[in-house]
Amino acid sequence: MLNRDALLACVAETDGDGGCIGVLVLRTQRLRDFEMLFGYAAGEALATALEHRLREALRPVDRLFRIGECDFAMVLPGLKQRQHAALAAGKVSRAARAPLEVCGHPVRANIAVGVATRPHDGTDPVTLCRRADEATLEAVQTAERHAFNSSVERQLVSHDALREAIAANHLAIWLQPIRSVRDGRLHGFESLARWRHRDAWVAPERFIATAEQTGLIGPLTHWSLHGTLRACAPALRENPTLVFSINLSPRAVLEDDVVAAFSAALALWGVPASALKVEVTETAFVSDMPALSEVLRELHATGVAISIDDYGTGYSSMAYLREFPVDEVKLDRSFIQDITVNTRSRQLAAAAVSLAHGIGAQVVAEGVESAQTLALLAEMGCDRYQGYLHGRPAPAAEAIAAMTGGD
């Protein structure tokens, strides 16, 4: 099943024919979660259906390799220019995300496609494939779900460097405003951890993944909680109605006494629990849903609000709404990015808003970048929004200063 050696041999032997060679790596996200819900046979059926779909999207000269349970690599020879690899990745991404027939049911695969080209990203097969694979981490963060590797040579995030950064307070809190759809009034901020290491910004998804894999997610959560409360305490004196959201990894919830830690931090900084909201990522795989639900209910009982982040991008949307004490649902930007031009997207977004309101939850739309999108969200009854239209992330001090100056 696994053809990694054949893939490397193919890359080594492929001639660019005067142009360049492209390598695409497609990673299926949260496959294990999918299999837990629908069974192992469904996981294999998804891989088979996805393989057929990819072959249809590729040119006859392109080569396809299955390199994981539901992961694939593609070699694209004879590309005239680097951008043609991006065009191919876009076609592959759209094909893979279209509904697939799996065990008699339509399923949308949650995928990310990383892109690399020779000679731009490397000349030897191992480097080229690694660079494409690394780029899938960046693709997950894009609406198109495909991306080039953004750096010439990706900086490794080591456990020791991250541990030192947390201990020495070398990370920073940035804030992005969240506003009312109805009147634009400032509702609060989402707190975002940022890290500048060796004169370069480290992507949050990379150092958070390192924290989760190396046992640092507890210390990182503790740092983020106190950093957020430190920033919001003076802002609340100016506007006591503000709510600050902090991202909470399910792994941190299951590994640490989160309820006690949050209560102690709120007391230390003199911040009421009603001013804090925790965002649990809907795309995160949860190995122990009952335990996570119990902790979130205990936290909710203290007055802290619970939000489901990136709603609609994973397999467990309904399970989260059923099991967790949900106060808010945040629609992922992929839900709303084309609602101004795509009727079905608009209908799906409206249905999501209606569903959330039906269980008594408020709705926040992420990634709002145009006035037209905002107007449609208002028609749907969406409650709040965040995005570049009226607020990019900024260092906490700058965001608070802008608030006191304009809101």
The CATH number of the domain where 239 resides is what? 3.20.20.450
Q: Do 213 and 354 belong to one domain?
A: yes
Does residue 60 sit within a domain? yes
Residue 22: predicted pLDDT? 93
Last-in-domain residue among 148, 169, 185: 148
- 154 belongs to a structural domain: no
- Identified catalytic residue from 366, 369, 379, 398: 366
pLDDT block averages, 10 residues each, the chain of length 407: 78 73 92 80 89 93 92 91 89 90 81 91 87 88 82 63 94 96 95 90 83 87 95 91 92 81 95 95 61 90 93 63 88 84 89 93 94 96 94 92 70
* 377 in the same domain as 230: yes
The count of domains in the chain is: 2
User: What distance in Å separates the CA atoms of residue 134 and residue 320, rounded to the nearest whole number?
Assistant: 29
Residue 175 and residue 69 share a domain: no
User: Is 153 within a domain?
Assistant: no
* CA–CA separation, 240 and 232 (whole Å): 10
Of 114, 298, 159, 291, the closest CA to residue 278 belongs to: 298
Please check whether residue 338 is in contact with residue 309, taking contact to mean a CB–CB distance below 8 angstroms. Answer: no
Question: Which one of 128, 148, 168 terminates a domain?
Answer: 148
> Domain for residue 102, yes or no?
yes
The verdict on 191 and 52 lying in the same domain is no
Q: Are residues 95 and 187 in the same domain?
A: no
Residues 129 and 221 in one domain: no
Same domain, 114 and 184: no
The rounded distance, in Å, linking the Cα atoms of 329 and 311 is 7
- DSSP secondary structure code for residue 90 in this structure: H
Same domain (yes/no): 310, 341: yes
Whether residue 366 lies in the annotated active site: yes
pLDDT recorded at residue 156? 53
Residue 361 falls inside a structural domain: yes
Statement to judge: residues 144 and 165 lie in one domain = no
Task: Give me the pLDDT at residue 80, please.
Answer: 82
User: Whole-angstrom Cα distance, residue 106 to residue 89?
Assistant: 23
CATH of the domain at 135: 3.30.70.270
State residue 41's pLDDT score. 87
pLDDT of residue 166: 96
Please state, in angstroms and rounded to a whole number, the distance separating the CA atoms of residues 109 and 227. Answer: 37
- Is residue 258 one of the residues assigned to a domain? yes
Task: Give pLDDT, residue 285.
Answer: 46
- Beta bridge pairs of residue 243: 188
Same domain, yes or no, for 122 and 205? no
Same domain, 363 and 224: yes
Q: Tell me what pLDDT residue 123 has.
A: 82
Same domain, 205 and 315: yes
Identify the domain containing residue 287 by its residue range: 159-406
